[in-house]
Structure formats: C-alpha cells, structure tokens
Amino acid sequence: MNLKEKVVIITGAGSGIGAASAKLFGTHGATVVTSDINLENAQKVAEEIKAAGGSASAIKTNVTKFEEVESLIAETVKVHERLDVIVNNAGIGGANQKKTAEHTHEDWHNVIAVNQTGVFYCMQVALQQMMKQGHGNIVNIASLAGLKASGNNLSYSASKFAVVGMTKSAALEYGHKNIRINAVCPGYTHSALLDQLLSTRDDMGDILKRHIPMRRFGEANEIAEGVCWLASDNSKFITGQTLTLDGGTSL
C-alpha cells in the first residue's frame, strides 16, 4: 500500500482497531500521531511503532471536547506541516444492554458524544486544514450496527448510522476539493466492546458466531488492513463508500 511519509492521525489509537491500524500505518512508512483519551496507552503504541523502525508520537485527546480536537490537529500540522489522513476511530459502547424504552439517558449522551459528535468535530477541523493544503483523506470507523438493526443497543446503533451518513454527506461535499472520505464497518471483532457484549451471558459467543458465515470473530489487524487501504493511494478513486468487514454477517 502506498502510505510512505503520509502524516496520519488516529483517534482511539491506544487499543483495539485503532492500535492495530496505527502499527500497520507505521509498517508502511507513514508518520503516525496516536491520539487517545488514555495518553499512556497512546504512548505505548507510539513507542512500539518507533521500536519497529517507524515514526510516531502521541497526543492526549478527548474527542468530545472541540478545543482538544483543534489542538490535536494544530499541533500535528505545526510539527509535520500537513495532515494527509485522519482515522476517526475513537468510540465507546453503552454501559448497559437495554431495549429502547429502558435505555438510560446516561448511555445515550455518553455514546452520542464520543461516537457521533466526536467524529463530527474531527471531520470539521480536519476538513478545514485539508482544504487549505489542497488534499486529504478521512476514514471513519462505523460498524455493522450502522448498516443494519442492532437490538438493545440504540445509542450505539444511532451513532454508527450517523457516522455512515456523515461520511456520505461530507464525501459528496468535498470530492471536488481532492478530499476523499470513506467509512469502515466492522462486524463482531475482538475488542473491548466485544468483550463487554460477551460478558452479558455465558453462551453469547456461540450465539453470535452462528450469525457469522465464517463462524469466527474478526481480528483488529484484519480491520486495520481495510483502514490502511482506504487511506492509501491504492484506492484513490473511492469516496463516500462503506467497506464492510464482517465475515459475511450482513448476508
């Protein structure tokens, strides 16, 4: 993949898909800025990239705070002079698995703030910089839950449907500005969010795998491959699309 020397920000890079993507970008020669609300985790990933011969640094960011998003992008541009790619990966699930009538307001506000508003903030500030420099690439991490119904999960589903919609709307607006915007929609993938779901009942893993034609969960590095491909010049005629990586679950 053609990613050499691209300046890349990844939010939520301290673990899961974000960490796997950051490391893969580093392997392909990109300059990686690992961003996470947990600075220690972001620094650990950055150090692993550097230890493998790559270039990386870490910045603490709470994507629900607009001024922190502004600072993240401003600091990146100050050091590296541009922003080629931003991967909007930071995301959370609700603390409770409840139907809509019982859905907690706390879960609603927390999930929407990170998964939807956080992506909007990052897109908005990144687009302003990308228009100044005349190019850019945004990859948003949505979910299979943003393409099809997901029960007991209203705020998460709503936020991920929103990410898909924001991706398509912004891609339509900025395609003529040499800015590409796409989304990745993972299915059930080994992560903290999946662990949270599996903990709800002993047989949840078996139940979920029965809905996956490949009969297994995805791995973070498999999702990272799709992220890096969309961010690379190998996909330069693709914009406004959702790349579904779900082992066939959506079938």
- What are the beta bridge partners of residue 59? 35
pLDDT (0 to 100) of residue 198: 79
Flag whether pLDDT at 175 surpasses 80: yes
pLDDT (0 to 100) of residue 45: 98
Domain span holding position 16: 7-244
Q: Tell me, yes or no, whether 38 lies in a domain.
A: yes
Is 174 among the catalytic positions? no
Cβ burial of 22 (10 Å; 0-12, 13-18, 19+) is buried
Q: Tell me, yes or no, whether 34 lies in a domain.
A: yes
Flag whether pLDDT at 197 surpasses 80: no
CATH number, domain containing residue 76:
3.40.50.720
pLDDT (0 to 100) of residue 184: 98
pLDDT (0 to 100) of residue 70: 98
Lowest mean pLDDT among 27-36, 92-101, 129-138: 92-101
Flag whether pLDDT at 112 surpasses 90: yes
Structural domain count, the chain: 1
Please give the model's pTM, rounded to 2 decimal places.
0.96
Please list, residue by residue across 74-84, b when 16 or more beta carbons sit within 10 angstroms of its beta carbon and e when fewer do.
eebbeebebbb
Q: Tell me, yes or no, whether 178 lies in a domain.
A: yes
Range 123-139 average pLDDT: 98
> What's the pLDDT tens digit per position in 64-89?
999 999 999 999 999 999 999 999 99
12: left (phi over 0), alpha (psi -120 to 50) or beta: left
Using a pLDDT cut of 90, give the percent of the chain over it. 87
pLDDT (0 to 100) of residue 71: 98
Task: Please state, rounded to an integer, the average pLDDT across all residues of the chain.
Answer: 95
Q: Tell me, yes or no, whether 190 lies in a domain.
A: yes
pLDDT (0 to 100) of residue 203: 83
pLDDT (0 to 100) of residue 38: 98
Which residue in the list 121, 156, 174, 188 is annotated as catalytic? 156
Q: Tell me, yes or no, whether 14 lies in a domain.
A: yes
Q: Tell me, yes or no, whether 210 lies in a domain.
A: yes
pLDDT (0 to 100) of residue 208: 85
Using a pLDDT cut of 70, give the percent of the chain over it. 100
Q: Tell me, yes or no, whether 2 lies in a domain.
A: no
Q: Tell me, yes or no, whether 227 lies in a domain.
A: yes
